[in-house]
């Protein structure tokens, strides 16, 4: 079965503490909301301590056109994407040797926070010496579910081509979508939660040998699910000024009621019980989302410790966040035979699940 052999991050340069972000929002939103201090509790209750961005705090205090923000997206996405790929292919914690760019057969590029044609992976191929016939699969619009979905599509590619080496690259620059003049509660919550980040994963077919240095997660199966009549739960509203965040306050309740039946069906089809899952590799959409995972699946709280730690130090980086969580699991000494469940939720409203098993 296809296996995940390496994963690496590229952290943006500007670190912003949550206290700084809260004070910034107090100044911006205080005239709009009479109960601003109550609403600002979201910054504290979310358990985020710091986040990283491609622009400084001063940049966010000024108005920027959609064109200016999107140009910044292209420039920073290429820079961070190159760095994430370099780190992934040279990561000697996971790999027995560095992987040459010429060995890569396909690149899946995942993002929902900017637009680019030619797409970002094409621009990166003009910086790094990939083969000119490397296949390119840009995927846009899956939001927070995009990282898990990218792994699923890479899994299917490697099933078809068992000698393939595939990169799944996610770059999400949520900060560049910030709207100074959107005085809505959704924007306020997004300001307390979203961040920038990039990460790259190397997925290889079962006939690839001589790379892995330790036990790695093999992808057993995947499942994609969409909830009918739920288009307004999460996403972007695209206007002349750019991307405006859409959040439903019902997201935690939807997760509690909808996720377990999907997970139970998926695991049953693969003849695995939920109590066999030792590692819960969950996209940390926010503290309330993590709590909803625990309630829905009736998991012990310790199963989300790593997701919470990523949330605390990086915030919600949309599709890239689950790769940060995955990296921490892969750095652990996981015993062969242990099962893990990757899960992420996104616009649609949709769910992406991957069942993995560590093998030496």
Which tens digits make up the pLDDT trace of 35-94? 788 888 888 888 899 999 999 999 998 899 999 999 999 999 999 999 999 999 999 999
pLDDT at position 180 is 81
Task: Say whether both 151 and 71 belong to one domain.
Answer: yes
- Look at residue 190 and tell me whether its pLDDT is greater than 90: no
Tens-place pLDDT, residues 278-332: 999 999 988 988 999 999 999 999 999 999 999 999 999 999 999 999 999 999 9
Task: Say whether both 284 and 185 belong to one domain.
Answer: no
Task: Say whether both 112 and 133 belong to one domain.
Answer: yes
Task: Say whether both 226 and 344 belong to one domain.
Answer: yes
Asked if the structure places residue 211 within a domain, the reply is no
Q: Are residues 108 and 200 in contact, defined by beta-carbon separation less than 8 angstroms? A: no
Task: Say whether both 165 and 269 belong to one domain.
Answer: no
Closest to 113 measured CA to CA, from 148, 87, 76 = 76
Asked if the structure places residue 258 within a domain, the reply is yes
Q: Looking up tokens 């790929």, which residue turns up?
A: 85
Residue where one domain finishes, among candidates 153, 179, 204? 204
Query: By residue range, what is the domain housing residue 280?
Result: 216-359
Task: Say whether both 272 and 131 belong to one domain.
Answer: no
User: Total structural domains in the chain?
Assistant: 2
Give the mean pLDDT of the chain: 92
pLDDT at position 189 is 82
Residue where one domain finishes, among candidates 144, 173, 204? 204
Task: Say whether both 178 and 258 belong to one domain.
Answer: no
Q: Which of 88, 144, 158, 200 is catalytic?
A: 144
Asked if the structure places residue 276 within a domain, the reply is yes
List strands edge to edge, sheet with 106-111.
135-140, 106-111, 165-173, 196-204, 3-10, 216-226, 350-359, 339-346, 277-282
Task: Say whether both 15 and 152 belong to one domain.
Answer: yes
Band the pLDDT of 201: cuts 50, 70, 90: very high
pLDDT at position 185 is 77
Task: Say whether both 127 and 61 belong to one domain.
Answer: yes
Asked if the structure places residue 151 within a domain, the reply is yes
Band the pLDDT of 223: cuts 50, 70, 90: very high
Asked if the structure places residue 320 within a domain, the reply is yes
Q: Are residues 314 and 16 in contact, defined by beta-carbon separation less than 8 angstroms? A: no
Tell me the mean pLDDT in the region 85-106: 96
DSSP string, 203-237: EE-TT--S-B-S-EEEEEEEEEEE-TT-TTSEEEE
Q: At what angle do helices 251-269 and 287-297 cross, to 10 degrees?
A: 50
Asked if the structure places residue 209 within a domain, the reply is no
- Look at residue 183 and tell me whether its pLDDT is greater than 80: no
Task: Say whether both 234 and 263 belong to one domain.
Answer: yes
Q: For this structure, is 88 an active site residue?
A: no
Q: Are residues 224 and 263 in contact, defined by beta-carbon separation less than 8 angstroms? A: no
Asked if the structure places residue 19 within a domain, the reply is yes
pLDDT at position 188 is 80
Q: What is the CATH number of the domain that holds 145?
A: 3.40.47.10
Asked if the structure places residue 309 within a domain, the reply is yes
Question: pTM of this prediction?
Answer: 0.94
Task: Say whether both 80 and 145 belong to one domain.
Answer: yes
313 contacts: CB under 8 Å, gap ≥ 6? 49, 50
Band the pLDDT of 31: cuts 50, 70, 90: confident
Task: Say whether both 196 and 172 belong to one domain.
Answer: yes
Question: Sign (positive/negative) of CA torsion 331, 336, 339, 341?
Answer: positive
Say what percent of the chain tops pLDDT 70. 100
Token pair listed for 36? 């601003």
Tell me the mean pLDDT in the region 186-200: 90
Residue where one domain finishes, among candidates 149, 183, 204? 204
């Amino acid at each position: 079965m296809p296996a995940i052999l390496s994963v690496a991050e590229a952290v943006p340069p500007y670190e912003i503490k949550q206290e700084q972000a809260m004070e910034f929002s107090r100044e911006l939103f205080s005239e709009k909301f009479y109960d601003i201090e109550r609403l600002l509790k979201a910054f504290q209750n979310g358990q985020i301590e710091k986040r990283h961005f491609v622009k400084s705090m001063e940049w966010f205090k000024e108005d920027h056109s959609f064109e200016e923000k999107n140009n910044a997206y292209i420039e920073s996405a290429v820079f961070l994407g190159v760095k994430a790929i370099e780190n992934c292919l040279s990561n000697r914690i996971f790999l027995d040797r560095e992987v040459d760019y010429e060995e890569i057969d396909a690149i899946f590029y995942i993002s929902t926070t900017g637009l680019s044609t030619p797409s970002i992976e094409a621009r990166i191929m003009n910086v790094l010496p990939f083969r000119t016939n490397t296949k390119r699969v840009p995927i846009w619009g899956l939001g927070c579910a995009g990282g898990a979905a990218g792994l699923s599509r890479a899994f299917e590619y490697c099933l078809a081509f068992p000698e393939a080496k595939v990169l799944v690259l996610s770059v999400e620059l949520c900060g560049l979508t910030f709207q100074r003049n959107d005085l809505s509660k959704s924007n306020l919550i997004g300001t307390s939660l979203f961040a920038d980040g990039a990460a790259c994963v190397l997925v290889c077919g079962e006939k690839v040998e001589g790379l892995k240095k330790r036990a790695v997660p093999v992808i057993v199966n995947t499942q994609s699910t969409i909830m009918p009549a739920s288009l307004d739960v999460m996403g972007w509203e695209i206007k002349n000024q750019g991307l405006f965040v859409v959040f439903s306050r019902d997201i935690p309740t939807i997760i509690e009621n909808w996720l377990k039946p999907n997970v139970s069906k998926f695991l049953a089809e693969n003849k695995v019980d939920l109590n066999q899952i030792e590692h819960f590799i969950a996209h940390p959409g926010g503290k309330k989302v993590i709590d909803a995972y625990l309630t829905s699946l009736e998991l012990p709280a310790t199963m989300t410790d790593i997701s919470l730690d990523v949330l605390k130090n990086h915030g919600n980086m949309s599709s890239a966040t689950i790769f940060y969580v995955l990296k921490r699991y892969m750095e652990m000494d996981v015993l062969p035979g242990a099962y893990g469940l990757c899960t992420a939720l996104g616009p649609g409203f949709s769910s992406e699940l991957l069942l993995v098993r560590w093998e030496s």
